[in-house]
Amino acid sequence: MEKYMREIELEELKKIQLEIMQVVHDFCVDNKIDYSLTYGTLIGVIRHKGYIPWDDDIDICMTRPEYNKFIKMFNNKNERYKVYSFELNNNYPFPFAKIIDTHTVLIEKSDIKFKMGINIDLFPIDAVDAKQIVLKRQIRLKKIYNVKVVKLVKSRKLHKNFILFVGKLLFIFIPLKLIVKLMCNNASHYNYDSSNYVSCVAFGSKNNQPIKKEIFSKYLLLPFENKEFFVMEGYDQYLKSIYGDYLELPPKNEQITHHAFKAFYID
C-alpha cells in the first residue's frame, strides 16, 4: 500500500509542473510534435511571462493529429512521467489527456474516483462543422458530466445543492465512463483535414468558438517563468476569441484559484 509523505505546497507544485512541462517540451522537439500553451497559461505567457499570479496549473493543446501521435508515443520514453487519456486508461474520467508525475498524488474535492498525481492538461484541437453541431452537442454532454463529477458541499447555496442532487439522481444509472466516451467520440467526429475551422471541442465550453485552422500552423518560443515554451503564432486572435480583452486584469474578487486539491509525494 502506498504511503503519502510530505504535503506539497503551491510554489513547489508549480516547480513540479514546470518540470513536467520541460519533459513534454523536450519530447515534442525530439519527435517533431507541435504543441502550444493554451487558456490561462497562454495568457500568463503574454501578460506575465509566467503563471498568472493566482493560477496553479499549466494547460497545453495540440491539433488532433499531433495529439494522437503524442499519446501513442510518450509513455514509451518515460518512466516517471506518464500521459493518461481515455484512449489509454480504463475508467479515465476526462475527455482530454493529462501528463502526470507518478511520484506524486492529488487528493481532489470532487466525485471523481481516479488516482492521479500532479499534472498538466493536454487538450486536443478538433475540426468543427459549419453549423457547430459538435460544439453544441459537447456543451450538452458537459452539463451532464458536471452533474456527475461536482461534489455536494455545505458551502454551496441550498437550492443549488438541491438542483445538483436531483441531477445526480436523474443520471445515477449512466456511468461516467459512457459520458466521457461520448464526449471523446463527439470531439473527434470530423477528420481534422476536412475543415478550415477548429476548436477545443473536448472542453465543452461555449467560449471555445470556431477559429481558423491556420492559427495552429506556426509556433513561437516565448518565455514562461525561467524557461521557454511554444505558443501558436496566432495567439492574439485565439485569446481574443475566448476572453475578449485578455490583457486587462480581472476584478480583484475574480483573482482567485478555482482548483481544490491537496498534493503529496508518494513514499
Q: Mean pLDDT throughout 27-33? A: 98
In the chain, the percentage of residues whose pLDDT exceeds 90 is: 71
Q: Mean pLDDT throughout 127-146? A: 93
Sign of the torsion angle spanned by Cα atoms 184, 24, 76, 265: negative
User: Is the pLDDT at 88 greater than 90, yes or no?
Assistant: yes
Q: What pLDDT digit, counting tens, does each position of 162-191 carry? A: 888 888 888 889 999 999 999 999 999 999
CB 210 within 8 A of CB 132: yes
Q: Using CB atoms within 10 A of its CB, is residue 182 exposed (0-12), middle (13-18) or buried (19+)?
A: middle
CB 73 within 8 A of CB 87: no
Q: In what order do the strands lie in the sheet with 261-266?
A: 4-8, 261-266, 104-108
Q: Domain limits at 161?
A: 4-266
Q: What pLDDT digit, counting tens, does each position of 51-73 carry? A: 999 888 999 999 999 999 999 99
Higher-scoring residue by pLDDT: 167, 89: 89
CB 44 within 8 A of CB 51: yes
What's the pTM value of the predicted model, to 2 decimals?
A: 0.92
Q: What gap in Å lies between CA 243 and CA 50, rounded to an integer? A: 18
User: Is the pLDDT at 1 greater than 50, yes or no?
Assistant: no
Q: What is the pLDDT of residue 241?
A: 92
Max Cα-Cα span within the chain: 52
Q: What is the pLDDT of residue 230?
A: 99
Q: What gap in Å lies between CA 141 and CA 146, rounded to an integer? A: 9
Q: What is the pLDDT of residue 2?
A: 59
If we measure between CA atoms, which residue out of 51, 62, 67 comes closest to residue 10?
A: 51
Q: What is the pLDDT of residue 197?
A: 95
Instruction: List the grid coordinates of 261.
Output: 486539491
Q: What pLDDT digit, counting tens, does each position of 230-249 carry? A: 999 999 999 999 999 999 88
Q: What is the pLDDT of residue 164?
A: 86
User: Is the pLDDT at 152 greater than 80, yes or no?
Assistant: no
Strands (E), 128-244: 197-199, 211-212, 219-224, 227-232
89: left (phi > 0), else alpha (psi -120 to 50), else beta?
Answer: beta
Q: Could you give the number of structural domains in the chain? A: 1
What integer best gives the mean pLDDT of the chain?
92
Q: Mean pLDDT throughout 123-132? A: 94
Q: What pLDDT digit, counting tens, does each position of 11-20 carry? A: 999 999 999 9
Q: What is the pLDDT of residue 3?
A: 64
Q: What pLDDT digit, counting tens, does each position of 110-122 carry? A: 778 888 999 999 9
Q: Mean pLDDT throughout 75-86? A: 94
